[in-house]
């Protein structure tokens, strides 16, 4: 295979990756499953420290899952396409609060930036139940 052919293939793949914008997303649920909320439910973007012990939401909310979104390079949590994807996934799992856990740039094997990985933690009100008697 000559180098021009190889460069053409690599260029095409990179263009497709960059043009895809907000692509795949994945969710991981933890704890007790919650009922889904409407697809356009209201969410509150919080700082991860807002759920640390003793913080604003620590006593009332618990983590229910992770949402990972593949977006265009440099994407921010407040970008419309990121918000739409996160909202869809978070509402489906019953979340009320979300916090950005990490954001990292995806790079190709040759060091070219091809996208952004954003991972959010989803939170819902803690489930309370009466103590069980034995």
Assign residue 74 a region (left: φ > 0; alpha: ψ between -120 and 50; beta: otherwise).
left
Domains and CATH numbers, the chain: 3-125 (3.30.110.70)
Instruction: Give the percent of the chain with pLDDT over 70.
Output: 82
Q: What is the pLDDT of residues 34-67, one digit of tens each?
A: 999 999 999 999 999 999 999 999 999 999 999 9
**Contact of 121 with 101, CB cutoff 8 Å:** yes
Alpha-helical (H) ranges within the chain are: 3-19, 80-92
pLDDT tens digits, 93-121: 999 999 999 888 887 788 887 888 999 99
> What pTM did the predictor assign?
0.74
């Amino acid at each position: 295979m000559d180098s021009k052919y190889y460069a053409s293939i690599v260029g095409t793949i990179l263009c497709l990756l960059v043009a895809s914008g907000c692509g795949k997303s994945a969710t991981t649920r933890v704890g007790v499953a919650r009922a889904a909320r409407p697809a356009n439910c209201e969410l509150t973007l919080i700082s991860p420290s807002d759920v640390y012990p003793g913080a604003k939401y620590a006593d009332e909310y618990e983590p229910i899952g992770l949402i990972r979104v593949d977006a265009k390079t440099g994407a921010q949590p407040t970008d419309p396409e990121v918000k739409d994807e996160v909202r869809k996934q978070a509402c489906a799992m019953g979340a009320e609060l979300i916090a950005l856990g990490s954001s990292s740039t995806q790079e190709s094997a040759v060091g070219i930036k091809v996208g952004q990985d954003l991972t959010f933690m989803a939170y819902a009100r803690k489930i309370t139940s009466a103590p069980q008697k034995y």
